[in-house]
Amino acid sequence: MAAMKEKTDVRQGTLALMVLRTLDVLGPLHGYGIARRIEQISGDVLAVNQGTLYPVLLKLEQEGAIASEWGASENNRKARFYRLTKAGRGVLAAETRDWEQTAAIIARFFDAKAEDLS
């Protein structure tokens, strides 16, 4: 049980950031499309439990970062398409900055040698 948890426990914030970035790069997409892209790029993070994407989408939509409407999918099925809103772009930019900062700091710690810290 512990092992499974480790694998799927993508932090909601991380997943949200991935969703925003995907929509930013690829434009409007339906849920399945987003899931596929994230899977392709991130490897197997979303291989199991693709469904966990949906609560994140809902939350983002309520926050106004994304908007959605019904449309037709590539094989002409009814599907719900999500797109990034203006507010969402702002959120993405801020989150990206945050993330890069955090990543940079953590990277510096990993790079640090014993003598740097003494």
Partner 1 sequence: MRLLRRFLARLGNFATGRGVDQRLREEMEEHIALQTAENLRAGMPPSEARRQAVLKFGAVQAIREDCHDEQGLPFIDNLVHDVRYALRQLAKSPGFAAVAILTMALGIGATTAVFSLVDVTLIHPFTYPQPEQLVRVEDDLPGVGAHDVGMSQPELKDLERSGIFQYVSMVGGGSVNLTGSSQPARIPFLAVTPNYLALLGVKPELGRWFDPADQTPGFTLDVLLSDGLWKQSFGADPRILGRSLRLDNDLYRVIGVMPPGFHDPGRTTEQRNTALWAAAGFSAAPAPASARTARITDGVGRLKSGLTLAAAQSRVDALVAALQKQFPNDYPLQSAWTVRLVPLKESVVGNVRQSLILLLGAVGLVLLIGCANVANLLLARASARGREMAVRQALGAARKRLVRQLLTESLVLSLLGGVAGLTILLGAKGFLLQMVPESLPRLNDISISWSVLLFALAASVVAGTVFGLAPALQTGRLDLTHMLKLEGRGSKGSAEQTQTRRILVVTEFALSLVLMIAAGLLLRSFWDLYNVPLGFNPRNVMAVRLWLPIPNDPKTDIYGSAAQEAPFLRELLRRGRSLPGVREAALGSNASIPLDHIRNLSPLILEGRDIRSKDPPMVEQSDVLPDYFHLLEIPLVRGRLFSEMDDEKAPQVAVINEALARTYWPNQDPLGKRIKVNPAKPVWITLVGVVADARTESLAKESVPQIYLNGYQTTPKELVIFLRGQLDAATIPAEVRAQVQSVNPELPVFGAKTLDDALSSSLSERRFSMEMVALFAVTALLLAGLGIYGTISYVVSERTREIGVRLALGAQRGEILGMVLRQGFGLAVSGAAVGLVGALIASRLMAGLLYGIRPTDPLTFAGVTLVLTVVALAACYIPARRAMRVDPLVALRYE
The 8-class DSSP code of residue 50 comes to G
Q: Determine, following the binding rule CB under 8 A, whether residue 37 of this chain makes contact with partner 1.
A: no
Strands (E), the chain: 29-30, 66-72, 78-84
Of the candidates 15, 23, 29, 35, which one interacts with partner 1 according to CB under 8 A?
Answer: 35
Nearest-approach distance from CB 14 to partner 1, in angstroms: 16
Point out which span in 15-23, 24-32, 96-104, 105-113 binds partner 1 (CB under 8 A).
24-32
Q: Identify which of residues 21 and 56 has a Cβ nearer to partner 1 in the complex.
A: 56
Contacts 24+ apart (CB under 8 A), 52-57: 52/8, 52/10, 52/15, 53/15, 53/19, 55/12, 56/12, 56/15, 56/16, 56/19, 57/19, 57/31, 57/82
Q: Determine, following the binding rule CB under 8 A, whether residue 21 of this chain makes contact with partner 1.
A: no
Rounded-to-integer distance, Cα 22 and Cα 93, Å: 13
Q: Determine, following the binding rule CB under 8 A, whether residue 31 of this chain makes contact with partner 1.
A: yes
Structure tokens at 45: 């993070």
Q: Determine, following the binding rule CB under 8 A, whether residue 75 of this chain makes contact with partner 1.
A: yes
Q: Determine, following the binding rule CB under 8 A, whether residue 63 of this chain makes contact with partner 1.
A: yes
> What are the residues binding partner 1 (CB under 8 A)?
30-32, 35, 47-52, 54-55, 58-59, 62-64, 73, 75, 77-80
